[in-house]
């Protein structure tokens, strides 16, 4: 759940939160109509950028053979990607 909040919800809602903080601090009465289209576009762009950064920044081998989760000697071994040539 924390990963969902940090990678999707926070970037999606950050532009709107920043706008309302700015409006609260410096806004005038005639500025009360929020630019919802630009806030939505900015939020979607920030969420897409966060997903790209998480996807590119995830470590681990990029190629190899996937070994699914299995039980070995009575304990659960999680799924993993084994590099080519390794056993």
pTM of the entire predicted model: 0.48
Distance CA 14, CA 40 (A): 10
Q: What are the tokens at 47?
A: 């969420």
Largest CA distance in the chain: 70
pLDDT tens profile 36-69 = 788 888 888 888 888 888 777 666 656 788 899 9
The pLDDT value given to residue 33 = 66
């Amino acid at each position: 759940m924390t990963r969902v909040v940090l990678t999707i919800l926070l970037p999606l809602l950050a532009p709107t939160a920043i706008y309302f903080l700015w409006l609260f601090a410096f806004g005038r009465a005639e500025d009360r109509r929020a630019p919802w289209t630009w806030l939505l576009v900015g939020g979607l762009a920030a969420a897409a950028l966060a997903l790209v950064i998480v996807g590119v920044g995830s470590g681990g081998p990029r190629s190899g053979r996937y070994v699914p989760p299995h039980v070995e000697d009575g304990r659960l071994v999680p799924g993993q990607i084994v590099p080519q040539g390794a056993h």
